[in-house]
Structures are given as C-alpha cells and as structure tokens.
Amino acid sequence: MDGTVDGIAESAVDGPVGGAAAAIELKGVSHSYRGRLALGPIDLTIEAGEFVTVVGPSGCGKSTLLRAIAGFTAPTAGGITASGVPVDGPDPSRGFVFQQSRLFPWLTVAANVGFGLRRRPKAERVARVDELLALTGLADAARLRPYELSGGMRQRAAIARALAPGPRVLLMDEPFAALDAFTRERMQDEVRDLWRRTGTTVVFITHSVDEAVYLGTRILALSGSPGRVVLDERSELPALDHPRTDPRFGVSRERLAEVVRSAAEGAGDLVGDPGRGRTLAAEA
C-alpha cells in the first residue's frame, strides 16, 4: 500500500475532535423549498468507514440530503454534524462528486486533481497528485484536458480531485448515471476497490438498485416526497470478493426493488427504527 492510500486512510479514520464521534450525524433534518417540504425529517448516524448507498423515487430529496451533508445548503430544520463538528458550509473534509464531472475544461487532468491543494507547497502537491492519478489509473492522462477523456476517465479524475485533500467523507451524487453500462460496472469495481483501500466514509446516491446492493455496506431507501428513511439495512456483500455471484445478491436486489417500488407508489411507511442501520421489517 503506498503513502497516498495510507494518507487518505489516516485522514479518514482520525477525527480531529472526539474520536468516537460519528462521521456524519443528522438530527431532525428536513428541508423545504419555498415553504414546500421536500425532505425529512431524517435522523441518521453514519459511522466512519461505512459505504452508505441511498436509493429512492425521483424527486424524493436524495440530492437535497447530500447537498445538506456537504454544507452546500443549510437544512431548514434540524442539525448536521461531521466528526462531531456542526456542518456550516462546504469543507475539504467532505469531498463531493457530481453526476457530471464538472472538471475545469481549461486545466489539465493533473491541475484539476491538484486544484484543492493549490495552497500546499508545490513538492507536496505534485507528489499527492501523482499518487492520486496512479490510484485512479490516470497516470498516463495527467497532461490531457477534460475534452480528451472518456466519460469514465472524467469521473475518475473527478473522484481523484475529491480525494486529493484527504476527505474523511466522500459524497457521491449519482456519479455513474451518465456512463454506459460496461463503463459503469468497471467504475463500480474501481470505487469499491478505492473504498476498501482507503477506508473513507462514502455516501453514494443512485437510482440503480443493483448499484446500491453491490456497493453499500449500508443501504438506505427513501420514501416518495418528502423523502424519509423507509429502509436502513446493513450488508456484508461489498466485503465479498465476488458479490454479484453470491446468492444473497439477487435476494437483496429483489427486496430493495420492491421497497423502492412501494415507496414510489406512496406506500413507504416508516418501519422499525430507521437511522441506525438495523435490518428493518420491510420484508416481514
């Protein structure tokens, strides 16, 4: 394991205050746009190192949830803490990856990846960028501009850029939705591998039940608008070498698909004790 990976793992695991504080904690969080409730209330505790996937019907508030955790938007009610510290605006300890890579078109891949490090000493920045490019398989693309990259390479560069400052939490908003099926599967493998190597806490929004089951050590399903947690389940599948061929994969996928279907039809009543990662009675 090289220094970069160790570097991320250290920053991902060592909180600055209160070592036992949850990576992310939401208490009574809800959000309204122009007086209309779009999300919540949500109570949720995410522990360091979890890979949380979030699915739910279109418009239920998934992006609103992620943007609130990032600090891009302040929830209209409730509070969010990250490693015990109140979230009050964006912070490099929380990296964000969008559906579109949003790379700066005039910068090279290396400059994009190093953008968040521009105040660090040059030697440190260059070393860090080199390591991130190697980690994401982009070493040969360092001098290219975004328009010269494939869609998968662009998302890899966006992930490298988000990881560069050593975030404790990586927030991913449907990062692979615009990719073709083959590239998407490869990217899922790559992000799963990255997560296993770095230990970074990940919150990953997706429309794909398959993707949620493949990647999530913890799977959340939200109800239709306003989105509330209707399923909160831990999974051991991502720790397996070949989750897709494990019989439990198909079972989990079918069950989650059913929960999401019911949620979309408005039957997503709260069951059990969402927010703490228990296996809920959705299938009971």
Beta carbons of 80 and 67 less than 8 angstroms apart: no
Considering the complex, what minimum distance in angstroms separates the CB of residue 148 from ligand ATP? 29
Stretch binding ligand ATP (CB under 6 A), from 7-15, 59-67, 111-119, 243-251: 59-67
DSSP string covering 115-158: GGGTTS-HHHHHHHHHHHHHHTT-GGGTT--GGGS-HHHHHHHH
Could you say whether residue 35 binds ligand ATP (CB under 6 A)?
Answer: no
Stretch binding ligand ATP (CB under 6 A), from 62-70, 76-84, 145-153, 276-284: 62-70
Could you say whether residue 33 binds ligand ATP (CB under 6 A)?
Answer: yes
Q: Which of 102, 44, 107 is nearest to 278 (CA)?
A: 44
Count of residues touching ligand ATP (by CB under 6 A): 11
Could you say whether residue 61 binds ligand ATP (CB under 6 A)?
Answer: yes
Comparing CB distances to ligand ATP, the nearer of 67 and 161 is 67
Residue type, 238: P
Comparing CB distances to ligand ATP, the nearer of 61 and 275 is 61
Strands 77-82 and 85-86, sheet pairing: antiparallel
Beta carbons of 169 and 82 less than 8 angstroms apart: yes
Comparing CB distances to ligand ATP, the nearer of 67 and 253 is 67
Could you say whether residue 59 binds ligand ATP (CB under 6 A)?
Answer: yes
Comparing CB distances to ligand ATP, the nearer of 53 and 63 is 63
Residue 161, φ and ψ in degrees, nearest 5:
-65, -40
Q: Which of 153, 97, 152, 161 is nearest to 129 (CA)?
A: 161
Could you say whether residue 223 binds ligand ATP (CB under 6 A)?
Answer: no
Residue choice 4, 11, 30, 63 for contact with ligand ATP (CB under 6 A): 63
Residue choice 58, 105, 118, 245 for contact with ligand ATP (CB under 6 A): 58
Q: How many CB atoms within 10 Å of residue 181? A: 8
Binding positions for ligand ATP, rule: CB under 6 A? 33, 38, 56, 58-64, 225
